[in-house]
Amino acid sequence: MASSPLYFLLVFFFVSSVDFFAWTTDATTLDGYLPNGNFEEGPKPTNIKKTVIKGKHSLPKWVKKGMVEYVSGGPQPGGFFFVVPRGVHAVRLGNEASVSQYVRVKKGLYYSLTFSATRTCALEEVLRVSASKISTDLPIQTLYSSNGGDTYAWAFQAMSNIVKVTFHNPGTEEDPTCGPLLDDVAIKEMMPLLKPIGNIVKNGDFEIGPHVFKNFSTGVLLLPHSHDVISPLPGWIIESLKPVKYIDSTHFFVPSGSFAIELVGGRESAIAQIIRTIPDKFYLLTFKVGDAKNGCHGSMLVEAFAAEENTKVSYDSQGKGGFTSTSLKFQAISTRTRLTFWSSFYHTKFDDLSHMCGPVLDDIRVVPLH
Residue range 43-76, pLDDT digits in tens:
999 999 999 999 999 999 999 999 999 998 766 6
Q: Could you give the 3-state DSSP secondary structure of residue 167?
A: strand
Torsion of CA 107, 182, 207, 224, to 10 degrees: -90
Q: Are 154 and 140 in contact (CB under 8 A)?
A: no
H helix or E strand, kind and range, residue 325: strand 322-331
**pLDDT at 26 (0 to 100):** 44
Spell out the alpha helix ranges (H) of the chain: 5-17
Residue 148's pLDDT band, with cuts at 50, 70 and 90, is low
pLDDT in tens, 279-325: 999 999 999 999 999 999 899 999 999 999 999 999 999 989 999 99
**pLDDT at 370 (0 to 100):** 83
Q: How many CB atoms lie within 10 A of CB 86?
A: 19
Q: Give first-to-last CA distance, the chain, whole Å.
A: 72
Q: Are 343 and 317 in contact (CB under 8 A)?
A: no
* C-alpha distance from residue 340 to each of 97, 201, 238, 305, 306 (Å): 39, 12, 10, 5, 7
Looking at every residue in the chain, the average pLDDT score rounds to: 87
Of the chain, the percentage scoring pLDDT greater than 90 comes to: 64
| Residue 165: closest CA among 18, 22, 14, 17 | 22
**pLDDT at 13 (0 to 100):** 40
SS3 content of the chain, % helix, strand, coil (to 5): 5, 45, 50
With b for 16 or more beta-carbon neighbours within 10 A and e for fewer, the 154-182 pattern comes to: bbbbbeeeebbbbbbbebeeeeebbbbbb
Q: How large is the average pLDDT for residues 7-12?
A: 41
**pLDDT at 218 (0 to 100):** 86
| Residue 52: closest CA among 77, 17, 83, 87 | 77
Task: Tell me how far apart the alpha carbons of residues 97 and 108 are, in angstroms, rounded to a whole number.
Answer: 29
Domains of the chain: 19-190 (2.60.120.260), 220-368 (2.60.120.260)
Chain centre to alpha carbon of residue 370: 40
Look at residue 17 and tell me whether its pLDDT is greater than 70.
Answer: no
Q: Could you give the 3-state DSSP secondary structure of residue 15?
A: helix
